[in-house]
Chain A
Amino acid sequence: MKTITKFALIVLGLALGAGALGAQPALTGPQILQRVEEKGGIGGTEGDLISDVKFEIVGKDKKTATNEFRFFSKRKKGEPDRFLVAFVKPDDVRGTLFLSIKPAGKEADLWLYLPALGIVKQLVNAQERKGSFAGSNLSFEDLGSGFKYSEDYNADERVAEEKIKIGDKEYTTYVLMLRVKKEKERIEDYPVRKLWVEKSEFVVLKGEAYNKANRLETVFEALALGKFENNTVADRVQIRNVLDGSQTTVGFLTRKRPGQALSDDLFDPNNLKNLKIDDLLKL
């Protein structure tokens, strides 16, 4: 399955992102992109966050697979972003853990714990963000750490405006064109991306990615929006590969702030084998 897409991930992050920023008149493309990136990755905003997420994956063979996870994220200024994924369903992989620690400006370090073997392994992925999260159209590393579009792309100065309808409600969006930087052409699958950014809170509602043959390959769409801590967030998003027909629908079942700060033990690679899924679900 062709993997995706940085923009989809940041959008996911934005779906949880907090801190509404007031819309400003006559913003340029790079300025809008900066606002978008200030929202962070899937780990969400600053602080600790726990989310229960369901993935419905439809392969290009039209068969479906469903996975449920609990995400733990810890973001603090000046410290690496930390992100733990605990597999809840299906039963065969229940208790499997993935840990991501991403120092600012560096690639994330990843660890895997397989309960069936009781072994922790560091995952080294030279493919750079191309990993497919649980066989979905999402990449694990990006999901964990988030990333910056501006590292790989330049946004066009001029932006158009368009209206997008989600459910019954219509949203006004900036249409942002991103073009890959010369030095990133070799590693980036999508030379051109297009983002529809909601004007008032800079939430990305839709995205398109065009491949090297200049054909639309991947489409991201927010299917349902909700509120978290007074900010607009996407409750359901869909990432679709229009060329092979595969798609992943991500539903956020719950989002919550933990009653007390998440322990650093949760994000310690040496402690992964001591974490029990039932305990994690009680948090």
Chain B
Amino acid sequence: MTRRFAAWIVDHPFWVIGVILSFTALFAGAIPSIRFEQDFEAFLPQDDPAVIALQRAEERYGDQKLFMVAIETDDTIFKPSTLTKIKEMEELFEQIPEVDEVRGPTNSQVIHGTETAITISVALPEIPTTPEELEAYKERVLEDRLLRGFVISEDGKAAGVLIRLKPAAAETVDVVNRVLEIAERYQGPERIYVGGMPRFNQFIAESMRKDLTVLFPVIALVIVMVLYLSFNSWRGIVLPLATVILSAIWEVGTMGFLGAPFTPFSFIAPIVLMAVGTAYGIHILNKYYEEAQNHRRSRREILIETISKMLSPTAMAALTTLAGFLALLSSTLWPQRDFGVYTGIGVVYAALLALTFIPAVLARLPLPRSERRSLLARWLQGGAGLPGLTRFIERAPVAILVVAALAASGWAVGLPRLRIETSVKEFLGKGHPVTEALDVLERHFGGSLRTAIEIDLGMRDGLKEPAVLKKILALQEFLETLPGVHRTMSITNLVRELHQKFHADDPNYYMIPDDRKLISQLLLLFTFQGGSLGQMALTDFSAGEVLISMEWISSTQMSKLVAEIQKYLDERFGPTATASALLTSDGSPIQIEAEQVGTVPVYARLMEQIRENQIWSLLTSVSASWLIVSLLMGSVIAGLLCIVPLVLTILTEFGLMAYLDLPLDMSTMMIGSIAIGIGIDYAIHFIERYRHEFAQDGERRRALEQTLARTGAGIGYNALALTLGFGVLWLSTFKGLNIFGSLVALTMVVSALSTFTVIPAILLLWRPGFLKNRRIHGRPTPT
């Protein structure tokens, strides 16, 4: 069967190449339709309570994300030139069709009260021309509690323009780009920053595009280099490279056909595939060169022999890698599932193409004239290379195992220190424009992130009840004691402000009045004069939001914050809370509901899900790999032996992260599955070959020498390709991906080293039962 398959490929090379190229054209046609998805709330299941709450809030109150342009000066923004810039920018932002509302230092409403009059006006209708006018404006805005710290910094050195997008604004990336263009036009000497969640999302989308265009050619170059070092021949470079490029096109084309977008999780799938998929070509070519040394056979025979012998190990390696990636299917986050599925599919494509495309092309090429050992091959097979390693292992197997056990224990001790969290600032890195903007917003405006609590009375004008307003005020006071929260804003701020202004600006009246009618009339005054309630209240005053300005804290802190707020809401606003028993002015009971509806609960939920998924995906992939190897090798012990390097690798990786204080975040969390999927290949190739060699004469030392000499080279090339391939992620715009690339590269090195040292040491000291059961004849010789 295997030979018939191999013979057909070798006998019909043009058919094989033609079919592969046709499929490639088909898949390539689907690539342009792939879109980019960077909105994190879209990553959660859409029936998640946090997502439902956010979507409902956006329908009722508009966009819930903070989006702000900050203008920072060295001295003061109260200069005609700077104010002109701010005013012009506000007007230009308002003209963007997707923008719902723009609020800044010149167009915000200012309430001013005297003994005889109330003024509600825009803060700055005309640019002041005299020092007196400037001073009057400065006094007006800095004295206004609704503006100071929100759109003007306390020290007057920075101004903020808040932009609210329409909920239906489909492509926020374009809107942010237009805002950035406008901001850039007015840059200097003032420093203008664009910050907030939409800017972060726009950056992610742009960076994904940029990374793809940069990383593809670089990884191709890295693969060329590794292949040159490994094979030192044109066919040794071109064929594996073409195979991974074709498989990447097939993989991305499949995503296009199935409507899967590129996400921050999945956009590196083709890059990962190129690194991973090279292995199949390497092993097949390695075997081909080995077989070709026997010149007594024809080219056809050599190729059939190569395919026949490589089919089983390649399939086994591809299956275990697939299992590793498919373990991500246990994730509740579809972007992680997508990454797992499409990389897994890509791996199958790569294995299939390596087994078909490479032999088909080789069938049309003459046999290599003589073995041209590459630089790397010469080093590996030289005294200091694999033979030296063999001697070392033979001399000190116990020491190797002791050192490995000590190292594993050392790493394991550090594990409790491992932080599981995602910080935007850490992901982007310090000094990044987006991070800088967040810092500016936090420095001057009390936060770069906004979340909200919806207070729903379920009755018209419920928000005008003094008892309700006082309860909301108490909530705000509690919120402002929480770490990370800088300030809050709700209808209570407005009512208190109006109350004071109506009493000739007497600060003693900065309080919630006890008279519902007065509250209604004050609010009427505000709306009569063109005041916008925005998110503070719905048109019928049946519900409103408490807006929370906060720092962009880490995910752990966010989860803690969300939990603390929820505890308070349950105690004070929950259906069973005694404190929630309020009465209206006419004595009717009030049903008051409070719910966290902003982006922070969604973000916290996302992180919780990632954390839960991590444990599951690790367990699933280890179990699946063990099961597959056990089944294919017909031995549970063989399966366990293959897992030993993986356990060491995972412990090393997570232990190192713990000691270096690197967080396990949304990108590094996938390392476990990748390490298992790829790393187990080394063990499979090694044990299969050792088993075969051992079956020849039952001589362990000879079996080990042969295995390391033959299979060791292939594993070495493979490990080098993967290490350098993942190292390419150092060039990514995301600092998080830089770390991810380095850690996977490290994983590959540790995995290969463990395979080269720990497994041989175990096999020298112990002869497991599965070695005895092996039938030599009728089974292909592994690489």
| A119:B502 contact, CB within 8 angstroms | yes
Given contacts A61-B539, A121-B116, A126-B121, A215 and B502 within 8 Å (CB-CB): no
Tell me the minimal C-beta distance from A129 to chain B in angstroms.
9
Interface residues of B in 109-149 (CB under 8 A from A): 113, 116-122, 125-126
Q: Taking the complex as formed, is A51 at the interface, i.e. its CB lies under 8 A from any CB of chain B?
A: no
Given contacts A93-B521, A98-B528, A212-B95, A125 and B540 within 8 Å (CB-CB): no
Given contacts A123-B118, A127-B122, A215 and B540 within 8 Å (CB-CB): no
| A126:B539 contact, CB within 8 angstroms | no
Q: Taking the complex as formed, is A74 at the interface, i.e. its CB lies under 8 A from any CB of chain B?
A: no
Contact of A63 among B62, B529, B542 (CB under 8 A): B542
| B528:A126 contact, CB within 8 angstroms | no
**Binary flags per residue of B576-593, CB closer than 8 Å to A gives 1, else 0:** 000000000000000000
Q: Taking the complex as formed, is A116 at the interface, i.e. its CB lies under 8 A from any CB of chain B?
A: yes
Q: Taking the complex as formed, is A40 at the interface, i.e. its CB lies under 8 A from any CB of chain B?
A: no
Closest to B513 in A: A116
Closest to A120 in B: B116
| B125:A96 contact, CB within 8 angstroms | no
In the complex, identify which listed stretch (A75-83, A131-139, A172-180) lies at the interface while the others stay far away: A131-139
| A92:B527 contact, CB within 8 angstroms | no
| A116:B515 contact, CB within 8 angstroms | yes
Given the complex of chains A and B, what is the CA–CA distance between A121 and B113 in angstroms? 9
Contact of A93 among B166, B524, B532, B539 (CB under 8 A): B524
Q: Taking the complex as formed, is A59 at the interface, i.e. its CB lies under 8 A from any CB of chain B?
A: yes
The interface centre, meaning the residue of B460, B538, B540 with most chain A CB atoms within 10 A of its CB, is B540
Tell me the minimal C-beta distance from A215 to chain B in angstroms.
6
| B524:A63 contact, CB within 8 angstroms | no
- Chain A residues in 8 Å Cβ range of B113: 121
Given the complex of chains A and B, what is the CA–CA distance between A65 and B527 in angstroms? 13
**Binary flags per residue of A56-100, CB closer than 8 Å to B gives 1, else 0:** 011111011100000000000000000000010010110010100
Q: Taking the complex as formed, is A117 at the interface, i.e. its CB lies under 8 A from any CB of chain B?
A: yes
| B517:A121 contact, CB within 8 angstroms | no
Q: Taking the complex as formed, is A3 at the interface, i.e. its CB lies under 8 A from any CB of chain B?
A: yes
| B539:A132 contact, CB within 8 angstroms | no
- Chain A residues in 8 Å Cβ range of B121: 124-127
Tell me the minimal C-beta distance from A88 to chain B in angstroms.
13
| B539:A57 contact, CB within 8 angstroms | yes
Closest to A87 in B: B524
Closest to B112 in A: A124
Closest to B100 in A: A244
| B125:A126 contact, CB within 8 angstroms | yes
Interface residues of A in 102-133 (CB under 8 A from B): 112, 114-117, 119, 121-128, 130-133
| A122:B117 contact, CB within 8 angstroms | yes
| B118:A134 contact, CB within 8 angstroms | no
| A127:B528 contact, CB within 8 angstroms | no
The interface centre, meaning the residue of A64, A114, A119, A213 with most chain B CB atoms within 10 A of its CB, is A114
Interface residues of B in 478-523 (CB under 8 A from A): 502, 515-518, 520-522
- Chain B residues in 8 Å Cβ range of A98: 528
Q: Taking the complex as formed, is B477 at the interface, i.e. its CB lies under 8 A from any CB of chain A?
A: no
| B539:A134 contact, CB within 8 angstroms | no
| B97:A213 contact, CB within 8 angstroms | yes
| B461:A114 contact, CB within 8 angstroms | no
Given the complex of chains A and B, what is the CA–CA distance between A131 and B120 in angstroms? 9
| B540:A65 contact, CB within 8 angstroms | yes
The interface centre, meaning the residue of B94, B97, B517 with most chain A CB atoms within 10 A of its CB, is B517
| B119:A116 contact, CB within 8 angstroms | no
The interface centre, meaning the residue of B117, B521, B542 with most chain A CB atoms within 10 A of its CB, is B521
Given contacts A93-B524, A127-B122, A140-B528, A59 and B539 within 8 Å (CB-CB): yes
Tell me the minimal C-beta distance from B31 to chain A in angstroms.
35
Given the complex of chains A and B, what is the CA–CA distance between A135 and B533 in angstroms? 10
Contact of A116 among B62, B116, B517, B541 (CB under 8 A): B517
Tell me the minimal C-beta distance from B55 to chain A in angstroms.
14
Given the complex of chains A and B, what is the CA–CA distance between A123 and B112 in angstroms? 10
Contact of B539 among A64, A90, A114, A243 (CB under 8 A): A64
- Chain A residues in 8 Å Cβ range of B59: 61
| A112:B539 contact, CB within 8 angstroms | no
| B120:A96 contact, CB within 8 angstroms | no
| B530:A90 contact, CB within 8 angstroms | no
Given the complex of chains A and B, what is the CA–CA distance between A127 and B120 in angstroms? 8
* Interface CB pairs A-B, < 8 A, 12: A1-B532, A57-B539, A63-B538, A63-B539, A93-B520, A112-B528, A114-B521, A116-B517, A117-B502, A133-B528, A135-B539, A140-B529
